[in-house]
Amino acid sequence: MATPKGEWGYASALEDTSGEVAIVGVGDADHSSASGRGQKEVAAQAIERALEDAGLRARDIDGIMHVPMAGMEFTDDDFREYFGVTHDLWVSKEGGGMVWAATAPHTAAMAIREGKAKYILNTFAVAWATQRNSMVGGPGESHAKELFKQNLEVPMGWFPQPVYFATIARRHMHEFGTRPEHLGRIAVACRAHANLHPGAVMNHKALTLDEYLAKPMLVDPFRKEDCCLISDGGGAYIMTSTERARDLRQPVIEVAGVGLGNSHTGPHWSQQAAFTSTPHVFSAAGAFGMAGISTADVDVFTCYDPFTIVTAMTIEDLGFCPKGEIGAFLESTPLTHDGGGLPIQTHGGMLSHAYVLGISHVVEVVHQLRGEAHAQVPDAEIGIYAGYTGPQASVLVLRKHRG
């Protein structure tokens, strides 16, 4: 497809499903550094907890969503084997974490509307901490295999993700005056929330801004603290119609809006025309429009945060502050759960909770809107998860159902 001159991406048109479905059960697996566990075992633990949370049995689930990961994803066959059921399941491969942790509820809403399933499970898990000493299954593997990267970027050392995003961060600093202490404020807020969350990998390790600034450079201008963890862990959530949700045990958390943006340069960050932006430039209007809200209505902000700079750009690109003004925004806006500003990554995010690629962010937003989170934002009614892969960015708006 031809790229319109001057346009570096576009919004996907999504049918309005506002309020049609709700998330009725959520589950986190145990999150850790290398655990020796396999990906499927981790996923099964999260699913078991989501079922328990929803008050549903395995035989109630008639749809499952995942994202293909070289056979390591938790499939419908795995579901039958682990949970001792034999029935057919509607299957979607447009689920899992990353960008799809936000769009799966829209895909599920369409399936439920069309009568394909009633109770749909979305799940994602990784065991990258256990696997990290090999190139098999680690976060860099798919990038090293992509042939343009392999033959143009990897040989020169422009690889892997910490290098991509440190390069973006340095350019962002040049264009907009963003400083290391701005990125540090994001890392410190994530750590403060992880310190309150017993399931967070960094639960027992504090981090102040001074400590952040004193840390050595990993990929200058990034310190290790700008980069996400490498974890074993995962999560799961269960969706059904808002109508059926009223009969279940948990407060109804409805899917108010979903948006999806795309970049024409796909996974090639080096060539993205808008180098210091994300496709959230194209995802925000659809999601907030479908939900009928503005950024001022958002009580809890979570986003896919592989690096501090991605959180910074996401805040800008979704319109929480004008592009390029993230530094001033972070200096004037408290980021913690009790600060009255914009609470971000209230479980610690991928920087300090666990690198499970966004699925646990959705779990956290649901806990927040039910009022049962560890770092609870007072009276939280609307929360978002902003997903990201580079080629795409997505927004999920969740809302506490009234009445």
**Which residues bind to other proteins, rule: CB under 8 A?**
1-3, 5, 135, 140-142, 144-148, 150-160, 162-163, 166-168, 170-171, 174, 216-222, 262, 264-268, 270-271, 273, 275, 391
CA dihedral for 187, 189, 194, 195, sign (positive or negative): positive
Q: How far is the CB of 215 from other proteins (least distance, A)?
A: 12
DSSP per-residue string spanning 27-48? EEPP-BS--S--HHHHHHHHHH
Three-class secondary structure of residue 213 per DSSP: helix
Residue number with CB closer to other proteins (145 or 246)? 145
Cα dihedral: 187, 190, 195, 197 (round 10): -160
Q: How far is the CB of 157 from other proteins (least distance, A)?
A: 4
Encoding tokens for residue 255? 């899917």
Residue number with CB closer to other proteins (80 or 268)? 268
Q: At CA 345, angle to CA 343 and CA 351, rounded to 5?
A: 140
Q: How far is the CB of 35 from other proteins (least distance, A)?
A: 23
Q: How far is the CB of 136 from other proteins (least distance, A)?
A: 10
Residue number with CB closer to other proteins (166 or 238)? 166
Q: How far is the CB of 56 from other proteins (least distance, A)?
A: 36
164: left (phi over 0), alpha (psi -120 to 50) or beta: alpha
The span from the CA of 239 to the CA of 244, in Å, is 10
Residue number with CB closer to other proteins (213 or 217)? 217
Residue number with CB closer to other proteins (69 or 293)? 69
The span from the CA of 119 to the CA of 161, in Å, is 36
Q: How far is the CB of 393 from other proteins (least distance, A)?
A: 15
Three-class secondary structure of residue 120 per DSSP: strand
Three-class secondary structure of residue 230 per DSSP: coil
Residue number with CB closer to other proteins (54 or 168)? 168
Encoding tokens for residue 345? 């990554």
Residue number with CB closer to other proteins (221 or 235)? 221
Residue number with CB closer to other proteins (33 or 271)? 271
Cis? peptide before 160, omega within 30° of 0: yes
285 burial level (CB within 10 Å; 0-12, 13-18, 19+): middle
Q: How far is the CB of 172 from other proteins (least distance, A)?
A: 9
Q: At CA 162, angle to CA 211 and CA 350, rounded to 5?
A: 65
Q: How far is the CB of 139 from other proteins (least distance, A)?
A: 10
